[in-house]
Amino acid sequence: MAAAAQQDPNVPSQREAIELATGWRFHFGDVPASVTGSNFDDSDWEAVSVPHTWNRVGEYALERGPASNNAQGVGWYRLTLDAPAAARGIRQYLDFAAVGKIAEVWVNGQRVGGHKGAFSRFRLDVTDQWRPGQRNLVVVRADNSKPTADNAAGQVIPLAGDFFVHGGLYRPVTLLQLPEASIDPLDYGGPGVYARTAEVTDARAVVDVRTRLRNQGDARDLELTTQITDAKGKVVARTVRPVQLAPGTAEVSDRLIVERPHRWDGRADPYLYKVTATLRGKGKVLDRVTQPLGLRTFRFDADQGFFLNGRHVKLHGVSRHQDWLGSGWALTPEQHERDMELIEELGANTVRQAHYQHADIWSDLADEAGMVVWAELPYVTAPSLSGGKGSESLWANAEQQLRELIRQNYNHPSIMMWAVGNEVDSAKGFGIKGDPPKPLALLQHLNEIAKREDPDRPTTFADCCEGLGMMQTAGEKLAGTADLIGYNRYYGWYYPKPLEARAQLGEMLDKMHGEHPELPISVSEYGAGGAISQHTDDVTGGFINFVGRPHPEEYEAWVHEQSWPAIKERDFVFASWVWNMFDFASDLRDEGDAVDLNDKGLVTADRKVKKDAFWYYKVAWSDTPAIHLAGKRYVDRSYPAMTVKAYANSPKASLTMNGRAVGETICVDFVCEWRNVPLVPGPNKAQVTTVGGEAVLDDAATWNGPDPEKGVRIDAGNLATRNLDGQRFGSDTFVTGGAPMVLNLVGFGGRSLRPRRDVAATRPELFEYWRQGEAFSYAVPAPDGDWTVTLYLFEPNEEATAGQALTVTANGKPVIRGLNVSKAAGGSLKELVRTFPVTVSGGVLKLDFASVGGNASLAAVEISR
């Protein structure tokens, strides 16, 4: 090893790239064949800058607005530029950081190449078509057509999925000018320099560096310098070697020793070195590439979880999609940085890059933040749209995209696993017709490719269906294909008996660990939808419409409150990733308070609002004392009493309401609750304070209580509150027995669980959900005195039972006897309103419903003077 020396300060530390950001013209749709020529008139095309996408998908509204654009098809880009001059022998490369989804490129009227895949970098050698120092024309055809069994997009992964594939030049475009002999720019879009940490001890680190070279001229004698610099720029290891480079490509390997290495240690200390390869000819620098280097060891254990540098670390974090509301996939560096800031604030120590290769800057930010990263190939949902294991062309495309993913991201120390698929046996859930495709063969092939590309990092994939029996699959056993596995499991959301979420998740993890004792297990997705404008008084009361409306913010938080403890207490679960950090675009979705958005994010898609679930994790994952009052956005309360909830990492918390002490409560799994806290009409100022922790912290909120003299209204079966005709109906609360109901399950491809729209009623909205059962009862808080109760009843079954008879008692006294609802209403699906007087004593009205010969079906209750 040669003596350490400082890098020449007069030579750039990295090859220079010329940005091609401005001056582009764009058109979506059909164009004549002359579009690639210089005589084509594009003056009426839209002037755009790159990064750019033509899609704008997702908004917080109940219907698509005029600004929405989920068009899929072909978009055209044209750029006329005065090219910089170049010395003789300089080669010209166009560098596309990503094009969604299939690209074709022309330079000065000649086709120079293309690329299939929406997420990876590709470079084209355009030297023969380029005119240095003159005017040049670049034309790009970008195609994000919806895949079908017989179009080009149907042979390029992903074929389907619950996210929208944006079209366009959505990442930067640059021009590289390199000499004939250089570090290879055409190695699957990779850097050409690949550093592998072969050994790390406290005394030394051994780093093997492979540098790929390309020579498109005559054979020549060159010199390659490889060096490692520390975070302060000091050279700590260096080799210099002569290289005889023949025409073509070659690979040179060097071993460097770093004495007393400073380790990259995740969030605790994400220390970064740099490795730089410099190619010289006749004493002149020809090319230079610098890459990040983190020196660390890691391993996964099936029983004990994840270890970083020999220390056990419980990985807890989030998945992230790359779109922003209003920007689509065309993100700025500042937007990427804001995303990482929010994830760091949350207390996460790992990020899953869903469901595809993310931007270079995102992986740089993960390195710098100390995140452990799951990097993923977009093999999603299915290998084929026509059955079977997929075509040869699709396999070739999947392999190409995997090699691009690994080579382009090889040097990021944050990346510790390569995911070769996500829910690859979920085709039937996305409406793919015919027999379920067979995903195993391609999954196995990709796993082999990943191991050949990078033997040091384990492979993984995310499973959706093993052991669930809820979706038709080809029946292939996928677990064990990769070194690790992640389970996408939505207990409390998609599955039966949602209120048993914690037990179900724990039982599933124990079962899978027992069935695959040698396989390290993670939870790669879990969560629920959350709409910040929709709220519930009781998360256990109403129907959970998981792909429709409503999605109360409080219910999303509750699902996470149930899920995290089940994960936390199992050391064999090496990692978990919340689905998702941010609401994201999916035009399969019409739910919550949004359209074309999956609303499972902890933060809204515009990054403006941190939902209650965000604050739960910020408290649970915090290393410092923290407290937060939940439910602040549910300001105008429906009932004169409420459950107050706070998140705290102290043993206890204390609550005052309007300056009066409510009392202390024990905080269990970071959740502190006070039930049936009375509210006065108008503003109620709550303050919660930590008790018994390292520091005294507090948080406050104001809730408006209703006037109890104006009555109580309950929307039976509904999980959320609603306003109708100026009247507030609370969510289904104060109830025991029966079950909340909705019309029917149409399935994910059908977009939603359908609330009723077919009941003939004065206010049909009240009949969208209902409570049903042979017996159920309500204990409703109400001031003492005389009241009138109005019940909204109906028969939901078109073939009603002739012998059905409903009896209702109020505080033990019969008020309705032997009522056949269908007969009294004049048929099924017709509103039947019944009113009766009651006298309340003791502050509670007890209503009991009992039915024989058929269920009772209650849409709403009104208690008024």
Amino acid at 723: N
| Angstrom distance (rounded) from CA 233 to CA 113 | 39
Residues sharing a CB contact under 8 Å with residue 33, sequence separation 6 or more, in sequence order: none
Q: The domain 359-488 belongs to what CATH superfamily?
A: Glycosidases (3.20.20.80)
| Angstrom distance (rounded) from CA 770 to CA 779 | 17
Omega of the bond leading into 101 within 30 degrees of 0 (cis): yes
Kindly tell me the sign of the dihedral angle through the C-alpha atoms of 158, 163, 168, 170: negative
| Angstrom distance (rounded) from CA 100 to CA 84 | 28
> Of these residues, 180, 423, 466, 591, which one is catalytic?
423
pLDDT of residue 4: 39
Are the C-beta atoms of 671 and 645 separated by less than 8 Å?
yes
Helix (H, G, I), strand (E, B) or coil at 558: helix
Are the C-beta atoms of 190 and 408 separated by less than 8 Å?
yes
Reported CATH class of domain 193-293: mainly beta
Are the C-beta atoms of 429 and 471 separated by less than 8 Å?
yes
Q: Do domains 17-179 and 709-864 have the same CATH topology?
A: yes
| Mean pLDDT for back-to-back runs of 10 residues, the chain (865 residues) | 43 80 98 97 98 98 96 98 95 98 98 98 98 98 97 97 97 98 98 98 98 97 98 98 98 98 98 98 96 98 98 98 98 98 98 98 98 98 96 98 98 98 93 92 98 98 90 93 98 95 98 98 98 98 94 98 98 98 96 97 98 98 95 98 97 97 98 97 98 92 96 97 94 98 66 77 95 97 97 90 93 97 95 98 97 96 96
Structure tokens at 619: 């408290």
DSSP state of 432: -
pLDDT of residue 131: 97
- A 10 A CB-CB count for 786 gives 9
pTM strictly above 0.85: yes
pLDDT of residue 386: 93
**Dihedrals phi, psi of 371, to nearest 5 degrees:** -80, 140
HEC-encoded secondary structure of 205-266: EEEEEEEEEEECCCCEEEEEEEEEECCCCCEEEEEEEEEEECCEEEEEEEEEEEECCCCEEH
Nearest CA-CA partner of 325 in 611, 605, 602 = 605
Q: Which CATH architecture has domain 17-179?
A: Sandwich (2.60)
Are the C-beta atoms of 559 and 580 separated by less than 8 Å?
no
Query: DSSP of 493-550, one letter per residue?
Result: TTSSSGGGHHHHHHHHHHHHHHHSTTS-EEEEE-----BTT---S-TTTS---TTSS-
**Dihedrals phi, psi of 743, to nearest 5 degrees:** -60, -65
Query: Burial of 732 by CB count in 10 Å (0-12 exposed, 13-18 middle, 19+ buried)?
Result: buried
Half-sphere exposure (CA, 13 Å, Cβ side) for 668? 4
Kindly tell me the sign of the dihedral angle through the C-alpha atoms of 209, 213, 219, 223: negative
DSSP state of 268: G
pLDDT of residue 337: 98
Nearest CA-CA partner of 536 in 366, 735, 365 = 735
CA angle 865/851/493 to nearest 5° reads: 85
Are the C-beta atoms of 258 and 237 separated by less than 8 Å?
yes
Q: List b or e across 103-114, with b for residues whose CB sees 16 or more CB atoms inside 10 angstroms.
A: bbbbbbeeebeb
Residue with tokens 């074929």: 159
DSSP state of 446: H
- A 10 A CB-CB count for 267 gives 17
Q: Are strands 284-293 and 298-301 parallel, antiparallel or unpaired?
A: unpaired
According to DSSP, the residues that pair with 721 across neighbouring strands are none
DSSP state of 613: H
- Structure-derived torsion over alpha carbons of residues 737, 740, 743, 747, reported in degrees to the nearest 10: -120
| Angstrom distance (rounded) from CA 311 to CA 294 | 17
Give strand ranges (E) for 97-203: 102-107, 110-116, 122-125, 135-143, 173-178, 181-183, 193-200
* Residue 862 is among the residues annotated as catalytic for this protein: no
Structure tokens at 399: 């392999």
| Angstrom distance (rounded) from CA 363 to CA 409 | 8
CA–chain centroid gap for 830, Å, is: 42
Question: Does 709-864 carry CATH code 3.90.1150.10?
Answer: no
Structure tokens at 428: 């039937």
pLDDT of residue 3: 36
- A 10 A CB-CB count for 392 gives 8
| Angstrom distance (rounded) from CA 312 to CA 464 | 27
| Angstrom distance (rounded) from CA 389 to CA 409 | 28
What distance, in Å, lies between the first and last C-alpha atoms of the chain?
Answer: 92
Amino acid at 747: G
| Angstrom distance (rounded) from CA 461 to CA 862 | 51
Domain boundaries, the chain: 17-179, 193-293, 359-488, 641-706, 709-864
Query: DSSP of 117-146, one letter per residue?
Result: -SSS-EEEE-TTT--TTSEEEEEEEEE-PP
CA angle 687/692/697 to nearest 5° reads: 35
Out of 3.30.420.40, 3.90.650.10, 1.10.10.60, 2.60.40.10, the CATH code matching 641-706 is 2.60.40.10
Query: Burial of 652 by CB count in 10 Å (0-12 exposed, 13-18 middle, 19+ buried)?
Result: middle
Helix axes 553-568, 501-515, angle to 10 degrees: 40
| Angstrom distance (rounded) from CA 657 to CA 677 | 9
According to DSSP, the residues that pair with 705 across neighbouring strands are 681, 682
